[in-house]
Amino acid sequence: MKETDFLADQNIAIIGLGLMGASIAMGLRGHCKTILGSDTDSLVCQLATAKGIVDVASTDLREILPQTDILILATPVSVAIEIIATLPSIHKESKLIVTDVTSTKVQIMRALASLPSNFDIIGGHPICGKEKLGICHAEKEMLYDCTYTLTPAERTSVRTKSLLTQLVEAIGGTPLWIDAVKHDQMLAKTSHAPHLLAVALMHATETKLSKLKAGGFSSATRLSATPTSMMLSMVMTNASNTVAALEDVKSEIDKILTLMKAGDEENLAVLLDASKEKREEMMRRA
């Protein structure tokens, strides 16, 4: 079989049929042999099969693992780590590729590295999503044109790297190879700290001002609507980098406060112009 045909012959199982897991399943339809699913909620499993999002679904991972070639962990980081710890006891012999879609990588890669040699491991993270989670909000278009980071381990095979590249491209993403440490440092600035800044702004604003909320407030606080189960696991498994990113933002806020308290419009204007130019440059590079 040609290398480019590998994905079409794979049985892919997705653990966690929420927003991300179900969206990936939708995107994989027609690109692989079979799509299997597992979720702790039996109603979600029923809905996933009824809608044709997956071919087979079960609340019991043991029922789908024997048929699986590629296992995708689409759960919060802490849950994914717990699942990884159980894999050796329920999948002991045949080869299995294990990857994830979680938003932090250092702890995940450490957990994956503890798996026996019959598990071929590679980390993953699609940079996309919504505040509203759940299978009902899933859509395959969510992954179109997204950057999808891939983090191999030293033992990751060439075949697995090729398969994951094909998988990412099949669902519309753009692969970006990156090591775990660099990933977490960068995402702390572009994702994890922004989530907590949205929380801080939300708490600093009185509810009675709801009729006066402007578009800027809605945009700036959008991430605060992210479910706690997702946000807490995300920031706490990357706590040191997120704290450092928040400290950097605090330093910039202090600069703004100093200029405003001094009535220094000239230098405040310079700071605002520089911010606008920097954002435009980042958007062009995306």
Q: Rg of the Cα trace of the chain?
A: 21
The domains spanning 7-178 and 183-285 adopt the same CATH topology: no
Give alpha helix (H) positions in the chain.
Answer: 19-28, 42-50, 61-64, 77-90, 106-113, 158-170, 180-187, 193-203, 215-221, 228-236, 239-261, 265-285
Is the domain spanning 183-285 CATH 1.10.3720.10? The answer is no
Per-residue model confidence (pLDDT) at position 4:
53
86-122 burial code (b ≥16 CB/10 A, e <16): ebeeebeeeebbbbbbbbbbbbbbebbeebeeebbbb
What's the confidence (pLDDT) of residue 227?
86
CA dist., res. 103 & res. 192, Å (int): 9
pLDDT at position 3: 46
Hey, where are the domains in the chain? 7-178, 183-285
Q: What is the pLDDT of residue 237?
A: 95
Report the alpha-carbon distance of residue 94 to residue 71 in Å, rounded.
13
Note the pLDDT of residue 129: 83
Cα dihedral 240/243/248/250 (nearest 10):
-170
What is the model's pLDDT at position 1?
A: 38
- Which class is domain 7-178? alpha beta
Residue pair 44/54 in contact (Cβ under 8 Å)? The answer is no
Q: What is the mean pLDDT of each run of 10 residues along the chain (286 residues)?
A: 70 97 97 97 97 97 95 95 96 93 97 97 94 89 95 97 96 97 97 96 93 89 90 95 98 98 97 96 86
